[in-house]
Amino acid sequence: MPHIDELVLDPPFNVTRAGHVVLDVRDLNASRHFYTELVGLVVSDEDDSAVYLRGLEERGHHSLVLRESSEATCACLGMRVRNEDDIFKAQDYFAAQGRTATLVEVPYQGLTLRVRDDAGVPLEFCASMEPRERMLKQYQHYRGASAQRLDHYQLQVSDIRQAWRFYQALGFRVSEYTYSTIGDRQHLWGVWLQRKGNPHDIVFTQGPGPRLHHFAYTLPDSNDMIRACDVAGALGYAPCLERGPGRHGISGALFTYFRDPDGHRIELFNTHYQHIDLEPALGWDLADPKRADQWGLPAQKKWFTEATPFTDVALTEPDIRVDPPTLERFLALANDG
């Protein structure tokens, strides 16, 4: 078992960052409205069955694809690699492990490799997308939260160590992790893994999985988070505000979480830090209330229990259940006191 700080500095191929997420939604127009008017994403292309969106600073064609479907699931998570050679290296690497790794053509993307990780999460690796105008300075088009770029994914999986091993072998590094003490040993509850030099590209926490807990976009300023809440109230999306604004302990980000019309969860955040030097990972006890929110209020129970399944991927329950510190329990204890 590798140590949590063990590094793979010469990975088999070069993943550069979390790149795009594909969501199946039941009402394309309702989802399009949520992501353009509240989140502030820009439509790059659309047809009757799909909408391709990007953040205001993004040059690539899309970071979010919405597909009309009868089910609200996540079809895949995208990872960018440095160049097309990395696609072929990835294909060789996964084939040598006996995995099915298939080269496919995907609209608006360069050569794309599809493969599943050890938990069954469908992944797409691609090196390029059709370029579109970077809208960073087109302030007249800023709407809602003015989301700038996709930053990371967070997943629930039943086996944290299995997920960690898969991504660590691809050169992902742990920036922070959570644990709980059970008996005389520490049980790993979550790992924050990164390739691009900030705290995370992909996060795994323990739970029935695999499920997509949330995906996250950066905002230009903390004021944009307040504006997102104001716009949510004005447009009737107030019930979609699930958590925040608040300040994470892990990563230090100022955050807000919304649920979209299908219940897919999106985080809007800013102000996390660089993680480039080869520093040891930072560990947090799950019982530390400042881990999740420096301001003191834990998340509602549903934030821990509800998440998006992946399309046609069966769920597995974890061996050990850890009781999360919920807002409901926090309030019950406060009232008892």
Matching residue, tokens 């087109």 = 138
Tell me whether residue 93 or residue 269 sits nearer to Fe ion (CB atom). 269
With CB under 5 A as the rule, give the number of residues binding Fe ion: 3
Q: How far is the CB of 192 from Fe ion (least distance, A)?
A: 9
Binding segment for Fe ion (CB under 5 A), chosen from 52-60, 110-118, 123-131, 259-267, is 259-267
> Which residue among 64, 115, 163, 216 contacts Fe ion (CB under 5 A)?
216
Concatenated DSSP letters of 139-160: GGG--TT---EEEEEEEEES-H
Tell me whether residue 44 or residue 154 sits nearer to Fe ion (CB atom). 154
The structure tokens listed for 260 are: 């979209």
Q: How far is CA 33 from CA 38, 163, 297, in A?
A: 8, 34, 30
Q: How far is the CB of 18 from Fe ion (least distance, A)?
A: 11
Site for Fe ion in 149-168 (CB under 5 A): 154
* Euclidean distance between CA atoms 135 and 189, whole angstroms: 39
Q: How far is the CB of 206 from Fe ion (least distance, A)?
A: 16
Helix H or strand E encompassing 232:
helix 222-235
Site for Fe ion in 103-122 (CB under 5 A): none
Concatenated DSSP letters of 187-226: EEEEEEEESSSSS-SEEEEESSBSEEEEEEEE-S-HHHHH
Tell me whether residue 86 or residue 293 sits nearer to Fe ion (CB atom). 293
DSSP-derived 3-state class of residue 69: coil
Tell me whether residue 89 or residue 173 sits nearer to Fe ion (CB atom). 173
DSSP-derived 3-state class of residue 127: coil
Q: How far is the CB of 269 from Fe ion (least distance, A)?
A: 7
Beta-strand pair 64-68/15-25: parallel
Residue pair 80/15 in contact (Cβ under 8 Å)? The answer is yes
Q: Is 267 in the site for Fe ion (CB under 5 A)?
A: yes
Tell me whether residue 91 or residue 270 sits nearer to Fe ion (CB atom). 270
Q: How far is the CB of 237 from Fe ion (least distance, A)?
A: 19
Q: Residue numbers of the site for Fe ion (CB under 5 A)? A: 154, 216, 267
